[in-house]
């Protein structure tokens, strides 16, 4: 398959809009289009056509029991695909949509089982990115879209990541620049009595609690041995090709010293180090050191994480030592991705 690659700039020109219109037509008619969102790039298909949705699983190599997020642009479409929408869910919608929050509802029969991975629920998100919004509008259908990476690879935060993974496997890739947030959306289950966060993201637990009161974290987020409620969270994810060892501790000097000790002990391996602006100078003697940004700017760290994983693939490192962060607010989401990428290979100091 020849993949159209279309670059879009802001503000959108008439030419940009007609490119998005032709991509919308591809989606409406059952094809696959990768597109930018504010979180990560998505691989979109018409959520109402089972064969189109099967195309997503095939292109990504994704297990078919892992349901997709349906992207919409208005509440009428939500009412078409979801039912039993609670008042608390409406409060979250009012506050956080459009934006990086995915909400799980009971599904209606409009959503085929392929889209829902065989579940009775459907995950729904209203993205904020202008290109994503226009694509949904012009296609006139809800768009099922997982992250536009090969299954198991880090989610794409740049069009070049999508091209590396999916060129030749999808009809079109829309290049809309780097993702603003760089981590996938927060997923919250509102189909149960007690709202439960299944995947942490940029909309944090405390932001949600300020709107609807107490919510819980899925048990798997507190203890990796618990079975996650979200099918996708059980797979090793987001991983670079090299093994990652995560070094965690309250005292950053101890963390740095441990990473230096480990780096010196793996003499026959090509090692990489993931650190912050504050610590990078401690690793001057090592070659493959990437700072994610200042520890005081977690938005930047979130934005750089997946790109850094992919950079390490180019450097051909065998093993990566990564500094841990305190697990609160946005850092909870960053640490969730890092822990999963490490396969829970964690050293506490």
Q: For residues 336 and 331, what is the distance between their CA atoms, to the nearest angstrom?
A: 8
Binding mask 17-46 for ligand TXA (x = CB under 6 A): --------------------x-xx-x----
Instruction: Return the number of other C-beta atoms located less than 10 Å from residue 303's C-beta.
Output: 19
Whole-angstrom Cα Rg for the chain = 20
DSSP lists the bridge partners of residue 175 as 7
Other beta carbons within 10 angstroms of residue 218's beta carbon come to 20
> SS3 for 84?
coil
Candidate residues 59, 131, 141, 233; the one interacting with ligand TXA per rule CB under 6 A: 233
**Residue 20's binding partner, choosing from ligand TXA, Mg ion, none, with beta-carbon cut-off 5 to 8 A by kind?**
none
Cα–Cα distance, 286 to 273 (Å, whole number): 8
Q: How far is the CB of 30 from ligand TXA (least distance, A)?
A: 19
Backbone angles phi, psi at 344, to 5 degrees: 60, 35
Region binding ligand TXA by CB under 6 A among candidate stretches 74-82, 113-121, 259-267, 287-295:
113-121
CA distances in angstroms from 65 to 125, 146, 152, 229, 315, listed in the order given: 20, 13, 15, 12, 34
Is residue 182 part of the contact set for ligand TXA (CB under 6 A)? no
Out of 55, 232, 240, 293, point to the residue binding ligand TXA (CB under 6 A): 232
Q: Which of residues 119-138 bind ligand TXA (CB under 6 A)?
A: 119, 121-123, 125
Interface with ligand TXA (CB under 6 A), residue from 50, 112, 177, 231: 231
Quick check: helix, strand or coil at residue 104?
strand
What letters, b where the CB count within 10 A reaches 16 and e where it falls short, cover 278-301? ebeebbeebebbbbbbebeebebb
Under the criterion CB under 6 A, does residue 156 sit at the interface with ligand TXA? no
With CB under 5 to 8 Å by kind, the binding choice for 37 among ligand TXA, Mg ion, none is ligand TXA
Q: How far is the CB of 147 from Mg ion (least distance, A)?
A: 3
Instruction: Identify what 145 binds: ligand TXA, Mg ion, none; CB under 5 to 8 Å per kind.
Output: ligand TXA
Torsion angle, alpha carbons of 95, 99, 102, 108, to 10: 80
Q: Residue 16 binds which entry of ligand TXA, Mg ion, none, with Cβ cut-offs from 5 to 8 Å by kind?
A: none
CA 188, CA 89: separation in Å to the nearest integer? 10
> If binding is defined by CB under 6 A, does position 102 make contact with ligand TXA?
yes
Nearer to ligand TXA, 258 or 340 (CB): 340
The interface region with ligand TXA, picked from 24-32, 231-239, 241-249, 338-346 by CB under 6 A, is 231-239
Residue closest to ligand TXA when measured from CB atoms: 232
Q: Of ligand TXA, Mg ion, none, which one sits near residue 343, judging by CB under 5 to 8 A according to partner kind?
A: none
How many Å apart are CA 312 and CA 306, to the nearest integer? 10
Q: How far apart are CA 107 and CA 116, in angstroms?
A: 8
- Rule CB under 6 A: is residue 99 a binding residue for ligand TXA? no
Q: What's the longest Cα–Cα distance across the chain?
A: 60
Task: Determine if 112 is a binding residue for ligand TXA (CB under 6 A).
Answer: no
Q: From CA 76, how far away is CA 94, in angstroms rounded?
A: 14
Q: How far is the CB of 155 from Mg ion (least distance, A)?
A: 5
Q: Which residues bind Mg ion (CB under 5 A)?
A: 146-147
Residue 31 CB, shortest distance to ligand TXA, in Å, is 17
Question: Applying CB under 6 A, which residues contact ligand TXA?
Answer: 37, 39-40, 42, 66-69, 102, 104, 116, 119, 121-123, 125, 145-147, 184-185, 187, 198-199, 230-233
């Amino acid at each position: 398959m020849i993949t159209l690659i279309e670059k879009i700039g802001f503000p959108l020109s008439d030419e940009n809009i007609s490119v998005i219109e032709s991509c919308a037509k591809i989606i409406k008619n059952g094809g696959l289009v990768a597109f930018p969102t504010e979180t990560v790039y998505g691989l979109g298909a018409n959520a109402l056509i089972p064969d189109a949705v099967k195309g997503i699983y095939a292109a990504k190599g994704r297990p078919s029991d892992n349901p997709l997020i349906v992207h919409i642009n208005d509440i009428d479409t939500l009412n078409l695909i979801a039912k039993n929408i609670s008042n608390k869910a409406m409060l979250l919608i009012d506050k956080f949509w459009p934006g990086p929050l995915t909400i799980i509802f009971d599904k209606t029969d409009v959503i085929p089982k392929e889209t829902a991975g065989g579940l009775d629920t459907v995950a729904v998100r209203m993205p904020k990115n202008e290109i994503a919004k226009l694509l949904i509008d012009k296609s006139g259908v809800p768009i099922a879209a997982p992250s536009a990476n090969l299954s198991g690879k880090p989610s794409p935060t740049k069009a070049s990541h999508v091209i590396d993974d999916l060129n030749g496997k999808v009809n079109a890739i829309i290049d809309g620049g780097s993702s603003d947030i760089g981590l996938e959306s927060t997923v919250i289950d509102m189909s149960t009595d007690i709202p439960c966060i299944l995947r942490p993201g940029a909309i944090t637990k405390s932001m949600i609690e300020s709107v609807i009161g107490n919510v819980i974290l899925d048990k798997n987020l507190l203890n990796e041995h618990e079975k996650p409620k979200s099918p996708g969270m059980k797979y090793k994810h987001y991983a670079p090709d090299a093994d990652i060892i995560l070094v965690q501790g309250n005292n950053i000097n101890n963390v740095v010293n441990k990473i230096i000790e480990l780096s010196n002990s793996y003499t026959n391996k090509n090692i990489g180090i993931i650190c912050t602006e504050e610590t990078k100078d401690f690793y001057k003697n090592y070659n493959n050191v990437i700072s994610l940004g200042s520890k005081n700017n977690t938005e930047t760290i979130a934005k750089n994480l997946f790109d850094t994983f992919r950079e390490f693939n180019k450097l051909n490192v065998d093993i990566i030592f990564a500094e841990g962060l305190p697990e609160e607010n946005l850092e909870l989401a960053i640490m969730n991705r890092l822990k999963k990428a490490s396969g829970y290979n964690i050293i506490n100091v």
